[in-house]
Amino acid sequence: MKMNKLGSHFVKDQLFSFHVLMPLLMLVSLGLVYLPFGFSQVGLIEEWGALGFFTEYGPLYFVTKYSHMAQTRMRPLHMLPQSIGYRLDTDSFFYWHLLQFLFIWLKGVAMGSILWWLYSQRGIAILGALLLMLYPADTMQLAIRSININGAVTSAICAVACLLWATEVKNLWARAILASFAGVLFFCASLLYEAAFFLAPTPLILWWAKYGMHEGWRALKTQKLVLCCWLASILMELGYLYWLSFELDPYTSHLNNTPWNTLKIIFQNSPMLLKVGFYRTFLHSWYDAGRMLLSGGKWVAFLPIAVPSILLLVLYLSAKNADLGKKISRKDPGFLTRWFVASILITALGYAPYLALVTHHRITQRTYLFAAIEEGHCFALRL
């Protein structure tokens, strides 16, 4: 009995130390990368248009059919981050940068938390979280142009993290609150940027990766409350899209397409997932990153200090927890295979929305921000 208590305290200490160490490491790492240039960025194209819109009409927190941007009602919260930044300071992009920094940091923290739930090895969790923040596939990862998309990615990942950890909570009320919060976050992510909705199956895919089919189904039947909260958020988004399909006039519907026609186009263009999406995700992005790094300016001078320091810490934590990984592999030989398959599936879900437009097949701006959620998993898994 005494040994069991000691083991329980050890696990709690490990969990506590990880959830303190990991956010701090994410903060330091992101600061090293973002601070040398991040806050000095100015608007590119859309930012000036948004700024002009706010100057003329004021902040736009939620788009309705009576708003000046009614054609973007499929993502009614997409101007929310910029509107908050403008409200806090009308004369600079400072708070836009601050929100962008916060979103990127939070998505790293949420990813580390998900990986810790999936596979309790600190090195892997931290490495996967770092890769999500800095994965090279998307060239708009740090630009403030992506502030609303990063906000949606962050909300979606935080929702998944909260939902998965809600399954570990024993107290019924605490579990209900955490699962409900996860549902609200995911609904908000879908309203910020509709591409986030494609990640709805993510918790179930990760659940299967961790537990397998037979054990996973048996354990899932004990999580009815958590499932209901997640399902409610999915139904709310589907209900909103269904209502919106009746609200669009024929001309606007022709221009923007309907959600149902968009899905049809995505299936028609699915071969491009392999030819473009996976190719850029797993191969070309690393070549491109190396090329840009070698031809970069003075801002990369900090990398010889930052990168080795971070990698050494990750390797130290991985070595410290190496025995745990071996035990898990021996106990469930199929776990690593399921994890890899799950990563591929979620990467496909993250890139799928961009299959709807041919123009998105040729660009690397914003099209890989959702796919990067599992790109980091695959790379960390290979290591």
- Domain ranges in the chain are 44-249+257-288+295-382
Give, as one character, the DSSP assignment of residue 120: -
What CA–CA distance (Å, rounded) separates 118 from 112?
10
Model-level pTM?
A: 0.86
Tokens of 195: 């591409």
Tokens of 131: 């890769």
What was the pLDDT predicted at 379?
Answer: 60
What CA–CA distance (Å, rounded) separates 314 from 104?
19
Specify whether the CB–CB gap between 286 and 136 falls below 8 A: yes
Give, as one character, the DSSP assignment of residue 275: I
What CA–CA distance (Å, rounded) separates 101 from 39?
9
What was the pLDDT predicted at 41?
Answer: 78
On the CB side of 121, CA atoms within 13 Å amount to 24
What was the pLDDT predicted at 362?
Answer: 81
Per-residue CA distances from 129 to 23, 109, 118, 139, 341 (Å)? 10, 7, 13, 18, 19
Q: What residues of the chain score a pLDDT lower than 70?
A: 1-17, 247-260, 293, 296-332, 375-383
Residue 365's SS3 state is: coil
What was the pLDDT predicted at 157?
Answer: 95
